């Protein structure tokens, strides 16, 4: 009988040790880690907002067995999935504010949901990046696991991931911002223009264009010719970035005799796929890529040399994000 009492007392003590402390433990697994990084917010935001980029800095990348992706590549709806011993886990971006905030939903083995957030706060040194973790901690076992394992171990992983992310991004600069409009098919009328053919690499293209357009304007002044539209460029060779071949051209209202390398021309007339590009000229390649992909997907046949029209004068609009260029790809 005495032995039974001792056993009961021991069991009560054990149960007390197990059950009483969790009463005072947090009902959620809740943690936060921050680090001031050297890069600007938009650089770091892109690394987090595009889940495929996590492969370069995530503290758990080695454990993401058979990782695959669904939905958009970046932003809300982007989803990564990987295999765990107990099933499939996933992470989905559920909310974003550009360059400021990201929320993701982690689903472990299809049952346990955790919400994580990222904030990106500009500072004098760069960006204060804060990464949080919030999940339920059920009584009593979940609270023990949360306090002893999850919070400290995930905290260490967060610290490691933030350091690696800082190392990855510290020398990166923000990509120039641009916007591509909707692609349309349109009928283009021919124009009269004066043109000069140019060869340049990508590095000196802006300088060569400035010289060429200036040369055309000066020539028009000597001939009394009036500009009847906005400057444009016709692209003849662009595959090799060390050598682009193109015309710099300006529309004119009347026929003007050329001289030397300046020549008079009538531009293309016919059908063309077209798209508006907003942004610095260095970013127009992104919109050209989308336009040419559209042409290929619709099995259009090329019907001449592509060209782009410079609607905005950079001399009067200093903000490159407001520069409008219209791209044309002639098709049959």
What is the H or E stretch that residue 108 is in? strand 101-108
| Residue 254 to residue 312: CA distance in whole angstroms | 23
User: Across residues 125-140, what is the average pLDDT?
Assistant: 78
36 in Cβ contact with 53 (< 8 Å):
no
| Residue 108 to residue 212: CA distance in whole angstroms | 61
Strand partners, 90: 81, 107
In 83-198, where does DSSP find H-type helix? 141-145, 151-169
Specify the pLDDT at position 152.
67
Closest among 273, 307, 304, 269 to 291, alpha carbons compared: 273
User: Across residues 34-45, what is the average pLDDT?
Assistant: 95
Closest among 246, 268, 266, 265 to 201, alpha carbons compared: 246
What are the distances in angstroms from CA 200 to CA 203, 218, 243? 8, 21, 5
Topology of domain 178-330, per CATH? Multidrug-efflux Transporter 1 Regulator Bmrr; Chain A (3.20.80)
Specify the pLDDT at position 97.
96
Higher pLDDT, 288 or 145: 288
| Residue 220 to residue 217: CA distance in whole angstroms | 5
Least confident range from 8-17, 60-69, 134-143, 227-236: namely: 8-17
Closest among 196, 246, 256, 248 to 222, alpha carbons compared: 256
Closest among 233, 272, 270, 274 to 250, alpha carbons compared: 233
User: Across residues 279-288, what is the average pLDDT?
Assistant: 92
| Residue 50 to residue 66: CA distance in whole angstroms | 18
Q: Which residues make up the CATH 3.20.80.10 domain(s) of the chain? A: 178-330
Q: Which residues make up the CATH 3.30.530.20 domain(s) of the chain? A: 22-169
- Does residue 103 register a pLDDT over 60? yes
Topology of domain 22-169, per CATH? Alpha-D-Glucose-1,6-Bisphosphate; Chain A, domain 4 (3.30.530)
Strand partners, 238: none
Specify the pLDDT at position 5.
56
Three-class DSSP category at 195? strand
Strand partners, 79: 70, 92
User: Across residues 120-129, what is the average pLDDT?
Assistant: 95
Q: Kindly indicate the confidence band of residue 18, based on its pLDDT and cuts at 50, 70 and 90.
A: very low
Higher pLDDT, 235 or 65: 235
Q: Count CB atoms within 10 A of the CB of residue 132.
A: 16
Q: Which two tokens stand for residue 38?
A: 């050297």
Q: Which residues contact 319 (CB under 8 A, 6 or more apart)?
A: none
Specify the pLDDT at position 270.
97
Q: Which residues contact 238 (CB under 8 A, 6 or more apart)?
A: 244, 245, 246
Range of 5-19, 123-137, 152-166, 244-258 with top mean pLDDT: 244-258
């Amino acid at each position: 009988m005495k032995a039974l009492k001792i056993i009961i007392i021991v069991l009560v003590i054990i149960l007390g040790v197990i059950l009483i402390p969790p009463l005072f433990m947090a009902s959620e697994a809740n943690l936060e880690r921050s680090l001031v990084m050297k890069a600007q917010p938009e650089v770091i935001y892109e690394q987090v907002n595009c889940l495929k980029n996590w492969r370069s800095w995530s503290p758990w990348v080695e454990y993401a067995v058979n990782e695959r992706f669904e939905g958009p590549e970046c932003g809300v709806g982007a989803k990564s999935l990987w295999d765990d011993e107990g099933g499939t886990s996933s992470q989905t971006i559920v909310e974003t504010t550009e360059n400021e905030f990201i929320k993701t939903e982690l689903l472990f083995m299809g049952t346990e949901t955790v919400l994580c957030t990222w904030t990106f706060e500009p500072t004098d040194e760069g960006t204060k990046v804060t990464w949080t973790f919030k999940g339920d901690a059920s009584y009593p076992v979940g609270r023990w696991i949360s306090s002893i394992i999850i919070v400290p171990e995930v905290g260490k992983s967060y610290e490691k991931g933030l350091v690696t992310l800082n190392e990855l991004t510290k020398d990166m600069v923000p990509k120039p911002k641009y916007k591509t409009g909707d692609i349309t098919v349109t009928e283009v009328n021919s124009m009269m223009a004066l043109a000069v053919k140019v060869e340049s690499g990508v590095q000196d293209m802006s300088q060569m264009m400035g010289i060429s357009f200036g040369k055309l304007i000066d020539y028009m002044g000597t001939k009394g010719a009036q500009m009847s539209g906005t400057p444009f460029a016709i692209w003849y060779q662009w595959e090799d970035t060390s050598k682009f071949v193109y015309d710099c051209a300006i529309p004119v209202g009347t026929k003007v005799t050329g001289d030397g390398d300046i020549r008079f021309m009538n531009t293309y007339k016919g059908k063309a796929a077209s798209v508006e590009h907003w942004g610095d000229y260095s970013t127009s390649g992104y919109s050209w890529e989308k336009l040419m992909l559209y042409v290929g997907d619709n099995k259009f046949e090329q019907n001449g040399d592509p060209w782009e029209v410079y609607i905005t004068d950079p001399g009067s609009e200093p903000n490159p994000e407001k520069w409008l260029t219209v791209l044309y790809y002639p098709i049959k």
